[in-house]
């Protein structure tokens, strides 16, 4: 038996001393990456949680455990508007805007940290809706300069230590979260960049990347609404988030989480946050609905759309259907990168880390057809936000090649179910000034195309109008 073992080691070119055996074993070829098939996605058991406790944790707790000292933040921040304040908050949180949590560091410094609502709460009809993706965030500027400016307001050594930790993290990921278009969310690229700086086994932070970071320019991603989570069996557009959803959501904490012990502390109440997210309901459409036209639209929808998007009402059913990107025809870059060589190192990192104990990254070469509850509030459409209205989604020849992104969610088009936009006859290269440049959505760029999803093209204008009216009722 020993002879066979030594022969095996020699075959691998390993040194035959006890000291080197461990190192030798680590040189074995990595296991092949497992990719998910397209088709229906099966349900997996989730840990139970308390929705009310989850809300309190979401708006008060330190799941992102670093940030600028409050003393520095307060020197530059404006007073929050009344509509930016939330109920159920404690301590300093009562006076902070909804997207910030007041926390205390291990060395006793009061900090201000971002929370999940920075991306996952948005305004519609002048009201803040928790769970609505914020499609108007501006990541076009480099975040490093602002974090460094806050350093001039730091007063004590303890504050300086906390500020420096946060500012260094921002500097490390800033090149990977700078977008060239308003409304594009770089969360995917940010997560990959953070993985590159964390030891897979210990989660310890490294100033230098431990593996190759992603490409600096993020692919465009639209923020999906949280209320879809109660129906979805897997997370993310390509359904790569399998297993325990709470553990998957915790990945947002690795901006500052530097040990498995810290991660396990957050994991104690992560299932509560997941339970809260799954308790959310889509908001009601705030404008009049033509009930007769909506009833007609329900029939057209059932005949043409329900096989992928599900049915609603009394016999509601959502198929959790993952469709190959070649079939759906929408921009393939996000899905292709996840199942290609470029994504392998991140899949291995996740699946062999603390997060992979009960969850797994298992992408598929396609996109999952989402449930459409509250879809009228979630413009622009498709995973990359390339289609500004439902009307254009149902009629692919009418989609603008270049369009000017609205500056704020204040001008909603009830006829098309989207924000009023300005169609342009030029893209990024024709922009007249920097302000216009960042607002131009250019579908000719990599990852930005508005192709595919042509399932409504065969419908006539009356049927499309009927579907649009029906979607207002969901």
Output the pLDDT for position 26: 40
pLDDT-derived band at 415 (thresholds 50, 70, 90) equals very high
pLDDT-derived band at 16 (thresholds 50, 70, 90) equals very low
Q: What is the largest CA-CA distance in the chain?
A: 82
CA-to-CA separations, 255 to 92, 137, 142, 333, 433, in angstroms, rounded: 22, 19, 17, 25, 34
Q: Give the closest residue to 472 by CA, choosing from 399, 353, 379.
A: 379
Q: What is the pTM of this model?
A: 0.91
Q: What is the DSSP letter of 360?
A: E
pLDDT-derived band at 213 (thresholds 50, 70, 90) equals very high
Count of other CB atoms within 10 angstroms of residue 81:
9
What tens digit of pLDDT does each residue of 328-358 get?
999 999 999 999 998 999 999 999 999 999 9
Output the pLDDT for position 160: 95
What tens digit of pLDDT does each residue of 272-297 get?
999 999 999 999 999 999 999 999 99
- Mean pLDDT across 233-261: 96
Which residues contact residue 31 at a Cβ distance below 8 angstroms, ignoring those fewer than 6 apart?
none
Output the pLDDT for position 376: 98
Determine which of 10-24, 117-131, 168-182, 269-283 has the lowest per-residue pLDDT on average: 10-24
Count of other CB atoms within 10 angstroms of residue 390:
26
Q: Are 408 and 368 in contact (CB under 8 A)?
A: no
Which residues contact residue 434 at a Cβ distance below 8 angstroms, ignoring those fewer than 6 apart?
none
Is 72 a residue whose pLDDT tops 80?
yes
Peptide bond into 180 cis (omega under 30): no
Output the pLDDT for position 29: 61
Distance CA 454, CA 329 (A): 8
Q: Give the closest residue to 406 by CA, choosing from 179, 135, 225, 130.
A: 135
Output the pLDDT for position 27: 44
Distance CA 360, CA 182 (A): 31
Output the pLDDT for position 314: 86
pLDDT-derived band at 17 (thresholds 50, 70, 90) equals very low
Is 252 a residue whose pLDDT tops 70?
yes
pLDDT > 90 in the chain, percent: 89
Mean pLDDT of the chain, nearest integer? 92
What tens digit of pLDDT does each residue of 87-96 get?
999 999 999 9
- Mean pLDDT across 154-164: 95
Is 1 a residue whose pLDDT tops 70?
no
Output the pLDDT for position 6: 36
Output the pLDDT for position 14: 36
Distance spanning both ends of the chain, measured CA to CA: 67
Q: Give the closest residue to 96 by CA, choosing from 111, 85, 104.
A: 85
- Mean pLDDT across 142-161: 92
Output the pLDDT for position 31: 74
């Amino acid at each position: 038996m020993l002879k066979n073992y030594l022969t095996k080691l020699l075959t691998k070119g390993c040194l035959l001393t006890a000291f080197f055996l461990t190192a030798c074993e680590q040189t074995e070829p990595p296991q092949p990456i497992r990719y998910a098939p397209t088709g229906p996605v099966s349900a997996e058991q989730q840990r139970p949680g308390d929705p009310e406790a989850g809300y309190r944790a979401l708006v008060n707790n330190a799941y992102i455990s670093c940030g600028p000292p409050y003393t520095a933040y307060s020197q530059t921040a404006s007073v929050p508007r009344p509509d930016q304040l939330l109920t159920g908050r404690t301590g300093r949180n009562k006076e902070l805007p909804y997207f910030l949590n007041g926390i205390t560091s291990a060395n006793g410094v009061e900090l201000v940290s971002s929370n999940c609502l920075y991306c996952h709460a948005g305004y519609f009809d002048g009201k803040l809706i928790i769970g609505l993706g914020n499609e108007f965030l501006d990541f076009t500027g480099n975040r490093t300069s602002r974090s460094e400016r806050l350093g001039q307001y730091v007063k004590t050594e303890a504050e300086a230590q906390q500020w420096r930790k946060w500012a260094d993290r921002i500097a490390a990921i800033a090149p990977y979260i700078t977008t060239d278009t308003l409304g594009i969310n770089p969360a995917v690229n940010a997560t990959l960049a953070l993985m590159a700086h964390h030891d897979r086994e210990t989660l310890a932070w490294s100033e230098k990347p431990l593996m190759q970071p992603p490409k600096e320019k993020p692919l465009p991603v639209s923020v999906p609404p949280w209320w879809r989570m109660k129906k979805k069996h897997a997370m993310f557009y390509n359904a790569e988030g399998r297993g325990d959803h709470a553990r998957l959501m915790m990945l947002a904490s690795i901006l500052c989480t530097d040990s498995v012990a810290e991660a396990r502390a957050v994991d104690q109440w992560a299932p509560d946050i997941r339970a809260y997210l799954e308790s959310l309901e889509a908001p009601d459409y705030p404008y009049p609905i033509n009930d007769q036209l909506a009833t007609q639209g329900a029939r057209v929808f059932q005949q043409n759309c329900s096989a992928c998007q599900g049915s609603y009402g009394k016999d509601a059913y959502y198929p959790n259907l993952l469709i190959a990107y070649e079939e759906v025809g929408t921009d393939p870059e996000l899905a292709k990168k996840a199942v290609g060589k470029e994504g392998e190192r991140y899949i291995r990192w996740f699946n062999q880390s603390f997060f992979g104990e009960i969850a797994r990254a298992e992408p598929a070469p396609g996109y999952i057809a989402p449930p459409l509850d509250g879809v009228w509030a979630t413009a622009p459409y498709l995973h990359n936000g390339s289609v500004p209205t439902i009307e254009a989604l149902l009629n692919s020849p009418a989609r603008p090649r270049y369009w000017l992104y609205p500056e704020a969610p204040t001008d909603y088009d009830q006829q098309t179910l989207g924000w009023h936009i300005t169609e342009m006859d030029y893209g990024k290269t024709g922009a007249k000034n920097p302000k216009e440049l960042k607002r131009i959505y250019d579908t000719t760029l990599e990852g930005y195309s508005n192709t595919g999803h042509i399932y409504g093209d065969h419908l006539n204008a009356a049927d499309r109008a009927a579907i649009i009216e029906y979607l207002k009722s969901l």
